[in-house]
Structure 1
Amino acid sequence: MGLKEIVQQHGMTVGEPARFFNAEFLPAEAGRPVELRVVQCRHWQRDRLAADTDLPWVLPSPNMPTTDTALVYPGTCLFEGVASITEGRGTCRPFELIGGLATDFDYHWGDRLNARNLPGVRFREAYFSPTSAGQKPALLNKPCAGVEIKIVDRGAYDPIRTGVAMLVEARKYPAFAWRQDAWDQLRPYWIDKLTGSPRLRTMIDAGADVADVVGAWADELAAFDRQRQPYLLY
């Protein structure tokens, strides 16, 4: 969760969060909801993915070049909160190529992830040099080792559980380091901003495994799903 109580992968089309925010958050922020009209799409089905349509993919960001990028992003964006690992910015597969300096990380990361048999995904060892490092200049143009995420079943793939598993396994490397922001004394860890609390970071640091980390928010996720139902259009 972030600044407001909305989950990271909310599963709503653009107009649906607008309806949700208008009813759930604006009354407290502005005193009342605004007059809002959302135009519905004809023939849209909730279980369809962008890749299932004949619509052209329009890049919402230079780092979101394909529909597969959009599928992995909710999980691998968590690596923006890790100082020693790049999300593959500046490569042809941003957020699908994840790795750290080749002196610090190796192919065993992918081996351990594949051994977990995570649904809908396999991992291939990968070596690359990011030409864009964002807030991680130490990784710019440096040889990096890590994994390439290969989605093998879009319907079964769970990006959040996959991202947590990747973090759990990456944390086993001595070079792993959470990204810190010296300017923010209240929330100095970037991962806490991305996830809305210190819970994920502290659980992983304490040695919790994937099921425990993901299970920690199961009740909140179920409550959010009930809360969003009145605002769904499809």
Structure 2
Amino acid sequence: MSNLKSVLAGVDVLERDGFSALAGSRVALVTNHTGLTGDGRATADLLRAAPSVDLRALFGPEHGVRGELDTEQIADGVDRRTGLPVYSLYGPRTRPSEEQLAEIDTLVFDIQDIGCRFYTYISTLAQVMDAAAEFQKRLIVLDRPNPIQGAAVEGPIADVDKLAFVACHPIPVRHGVTIGEMGRLLQKERVPGCDLTVVPCEGWRRNDWWDATGLVWTNPSPNMRSLTQAVLYPGVGLLEMTNVSVGRGTDTPFELFGAPYLEPRAFAAFVNDAALPGVRAVPVWFTPRASVFAGERCGGVNLALTDRGAFDAVRLGFTLAAALRSLAPDLWIPEKLMTLLVNSDAYRGILEDRPYETIASGWRNSLTQFAARRDAVLLYP
């Protein structure tokens, strides 16, 4: 007997209810390839075909509307399936312009997030909310489950004076909300003037991981290829702006971590000696085909999850940093760690080689405060 649920994403609820929320509106859709119904139809195609929906334009985040691009600049264009204009929100422009919204009444947002602060889809949501408030447009977010579940929060809060596109709001690394709940948090704390409606999922609970939902996994971005990688990402991804490989250019990004200057057995031993709950490090050599250290043999580790419920991804990230500090102090360059860590106290703790528990004690109060902020916007038990 299957333990899988039959979770409905927000788009499925919208369709079941006859698209009533969009009646009489001229609509623009912010979406990508993860905007899918439970039976695999693209939200863009669904809304375009619905007789009661007047879909006028599409907006795409990082990787584009159909999720096929992995470049730093994405151009505007025309969607080959719907024939609609596509406006990029990843490049020189990160929010819809007044001109682009001139003939639009309602923005609809349908993108799968993965539950990590520096995954840029929540920043795109924030920018869309800013535009919706400024130009007085309604915004409807079609909610989707948090793949790495929504019960846990981890890591330091982003410093308010260092917010950027990879840290759009003072939230922790693992934020523990759905994309719809994030919209509610941003409305409450950043864009109170945004006319926001969230179409919730049905059948999802906070403790549910993606593999309990019955929903098909679609890679949220080209290098996020499995639930395991999504679970590891808030820790491994923290370091990827520094001179290490996080496995991009291999078949298992974020499960591999290393550099040409590391000896894999010593590195794995350091990580395993930390006795982190829920994860083990296996020494490996690997050669990325692309991205950082393309074509170079890297020593490092394959990270094997043994208990994802006990696993703390951020603690793993800090342990990897400590290993680099210990084993390659003259070769690892930590400065760009702040790009995604975005917390000066935590960064200083790494550079001063403080124990993880000492560093983490510095953000414990702010994480407790965030949990209270978060409680006010939650939609699911």
- TM-score, scaled relative to structure 1: 0.86
Query: Any idea what SS the aligned residue of 1:37 has?
Result: strand
Does residue 64 (structure 1) correspond to residue 218 (structure 2)? The answer is no
Output the CA distance in 2 between the equivalents of 1:178 and 1:21: 34
Q: Which residue of 2 aligns with 1:211?
A: 357
Query: Residue 185 of structure 1 corresponds to which residue in structure 2?
Result: none
CA distance in 2, matches of 1:19, 1:209: 36
Question: 2:325 is matched with which residue?
Answer: 171
Amino acid at match of 1:90: G
Q: Equivalent residue for 1:132? A: 290
Q: Which runs of 5+ in 1 are unaligned?
A: 27-31, 180-188
* Match in the other structure for 1:7: 172
Q: How many residues are matched?
A: 214
Residues 175/86 of structure 1: CA separation in 2 closer, same or farther (3 Å cut): farther
Which one has the bigger helix percentage? Answer: 1
For the residue of structure 1 that corresponds to 2:365, the secondary structure is helix
Q: For residues 189-215 of structure 1, give each alpha carbon's deviation from its aligned partner in whole angstroms, at most 9, with x where no partner exists.
A: 422121223323321111111111222
Q: Superposition pairs for residues 172-187 of structure 1, below 5 Å?
A: 172=326, 173-178=328-333
1:18-39 Cα distance to aligned partner (Å, 9 max, x none): 000011011xxxxx42111101
Gaps of 5+ in 2: 1-157, 159-166
Are the equivalent residues in 1 in contact too, given 2:246–2:256 (CA < 8 A)? yes
Instruction: Say which structure, 1 or 2, has more relative contact order (CA 8 Å, 6+ apart).
Output: 1
Larger strand fraction of residues = 2
Deviations 1:115-161 (A, max 9, x none): 2211111110111001122xx4xx11100010111111111111011
Contact persistence 1:104–1:175 (CA under 8 A): no
Q: Is the 8 A contact 1:78 1:191 kept in 2?
A: yes
Choose the corresponding residue for 1:18, options 168, 171, 183: 183
2:278 matches 1:114: no
Post-superposition offset of 1:216:
1.7
Residue 234 of structure 2 is aligned to residue 74 of structure 1: yes
Q: Quote the sequence identity (%).
A: 31
Q: What TM-score do the two structures reach when normalised by structure 2?
A: 0.54
1:144 is matched with which residue?
Answer: 298
Q: Is the 8 A contact 1:23 1:33 kept in 2?
A: no
CA shift, 1:3, in A, is 4.2
Deviation for aligned residue 1:51: 2.1
**Does the 8 A contact of 1:129 with 1:141 survive in 2?**
yes
Alignment of 1:44-59 (within 5 A): 44-59=204-219
Give every structure 1 segment of 4 or more consecutive aligned residues whose post-TM-superposition deviation is greater than 4 Å: none
Number of the residue aligned with 2:109: none
CA-atom RMSD in angstroms: 1.5
